[in-house]
């Protein structure tokens, strides 16, 4: 019986450690500078989107066989959020994204009519589908917990 309880405790601790490790999106980490993010995605077409160097954009990137755009948002020069956007999406794209994110990140914190949220100690992930006059859009947002709750 002690061995079973030990195994369960180790399993639960490993789950919490993996959840704690979500500290950004892809190769980025919260607090990175504009130049660090530019260097990570050099050759991808990354560019500044505003004069204050608070937004970087990759207009077209292929992820999981689909085309997305990626926006990196900075606050006082430090990475605070990333939005991955699929234009011309359909409801099934949302369902596929939620399934994929759930496999990667586990149980959701909240799910409500085409919006699903995962919460971690340093990151909030939101997957949302919107449909306006037949034009769907899928938006997956990774936000620093510090930024999200301010």
- Residue 147 has a pLDDT of 57
pTM of the model: 0.81
Chain segment 41-66, per-residue pLDDT in tens: 999 999 998 777 789 999 999 988 88
Q: Answer for the pair 79, 41: CB distance below 8 angstroms, yes or no.
A: no
Question: Which pLDDT tens digit goes with each residue over 102-111?
Answer: 999 999 998 8
Six token digits for residue 11: 């399993």
Dihedral pair phi/psi, residue 71, rounded to 5° = -120, 125
| Euclidean distance between CA atoms 122 and 16, whole angstroms | 12
């Amino acid at each position: 019986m002690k061995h079973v309880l030990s195994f369960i405790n180790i399993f639960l601790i490993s789950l919490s450690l993996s959840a704690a490790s979500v500290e950004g999106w892809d190769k980025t980490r919260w607090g990175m500078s504009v130049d660090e993010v530019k260097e990570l995605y050099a050759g991808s077409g990354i560019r500044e989107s505003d004069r204050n160097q608070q937004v970087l954009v990759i207009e077209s990137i292929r992820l999981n066989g689909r085309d997305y755009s990626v926006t990196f948002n900075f606050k006082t020069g430090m990475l605070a959020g990333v939005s991955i956007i699929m234009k011309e999406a359909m409801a099934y794209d949302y369902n596929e994204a939620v399934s994929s994110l759930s496999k990667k990140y586990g149980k959701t914190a909240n799910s409500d009519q085409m919006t699903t949220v995962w919460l971690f100690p340093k990151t909030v992930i939101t997957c949302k589908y919107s449909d306006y006059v037949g034009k769907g859009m899928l938006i997956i947002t990774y936000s620093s917990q510090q930024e999200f709750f301010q």
